[in-house]
């Protein structure tokens, strides 16, 4: 769709314009500007129960295989006050978990609020339960385009509250150990509230903190057929790269 491509190109240009202004903040923070620190788990993706025939089933088949799942706080790393939570997903074919983005990989991003529209943003922040990653729903916020499906919005529904622990990372780990930690990826035609399941993500072991620190996600990736669409998707491309460059300079 030429209009959508133009909108994303405008977003990339706008991101390029603001990145020099943001770079000093990236460098001073010495970490990801949003979702500064978290935990990364390995995962296995399988077709979900009840996947619909046609485009949903085709997408589900492309997503099957290994994945990395990064859970993190929004602006801050703690569990006090009001904040969002975030999840980064990487679908990959590499034999072992790696911080490097490989050919055919697909990175997706989710936050615990449904929109940047002020009312929905504030409501989502207030409803986020910071003490348990698995007690929240996560949205991609910006749309994707899928062949045969059109433009879609994505969300992740978590399996429900984790297990007792001193913090959210330990609660997640204990849920993983008991085999009950799941995420359901769903897609809805843009503007619709009818979400169709396209992937069941079964969480596995927690990976090293070094891998979490070194993980560099790629917001423009589309290796599994989910193509970033629109202005917001383009807007983050250059700032993400600038932030990663600042982190490398800081050795983080």
pLDDT at 115: 87
pLDDT digits (tens, 9 = 90+) for 120-166: 888 989 999 999 999 999 999 899 999 999 999 999 999 886 678 88
DSSP 82-137: S--EEEEEEE---SS--SSPPTT-EEEEEESSS-SSHHHHHHHHHH--TT-GGGSE
- Domain count for the chain: 1
Question: Residue 154: which CATH number?
Answer: 2.40.180.10
Higher pLDDT, 78 or 227: 227
214: containing domain: 2-249
Q: Measured between alpha carbons, how far is 192 from 171 in angstroms, rounded to an integer?
A: 33
pTM: 0.89
Q: Measured between alpha carbons, how far is 232 from 143 in angstroms, rounded to an integer?
A: 9
């Amino acid at each position: 769709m030429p209009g959508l491509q133009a909108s994303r190109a405008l977003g990339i240009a706008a991101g390029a314009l603001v990145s020099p202004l943001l770079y000093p903040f990236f460098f001073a923070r010495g970490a990801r500007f949003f979702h500064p620190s978290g935990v990364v788990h390995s995962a296995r993706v399988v077709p979900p129960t009840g996947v619909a025939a046609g485009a949903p089933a085709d997408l589900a088949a492309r997503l099957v295989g290994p994945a990395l799942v990064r859970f993190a706080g929004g602006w801050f790393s703690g569990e006090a006050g009001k904040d969002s939570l975030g999840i980064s997903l990487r679908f990959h074919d590499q034999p072992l978990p790696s911080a490097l983005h490989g050919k055919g990989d697909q990175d997706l991003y989710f936050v615990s609020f449904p929109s940047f529209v002020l009312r929905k943003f504030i409501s989502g922040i207030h409803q986020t339960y910071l003490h348990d990653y698995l007690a929240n729903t996560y949205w991609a916020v910006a749309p994707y385009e899928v062949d045969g499906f059109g433009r879609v919005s994505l969300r992740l529904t978590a399996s429900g509250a984790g297990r007792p622990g001193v913090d959210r990372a330990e609660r997640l780990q204990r849920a993983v150990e008991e085999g009950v930690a799941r995420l359901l990826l769903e897609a809805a035609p843009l503007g619709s509230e009818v979400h169709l399941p396209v992937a069941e993500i079964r969480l596995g072991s927690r990976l090293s903190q070094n891998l979490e620190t070194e993980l560099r996600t790629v917001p423009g990736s589309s290796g599994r057929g989910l193509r970033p669409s629109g202005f917001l998707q383009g807007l983050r491309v250059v700032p993400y790269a600038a932030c990663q460059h600042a982190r490398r300079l800081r050795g983080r």
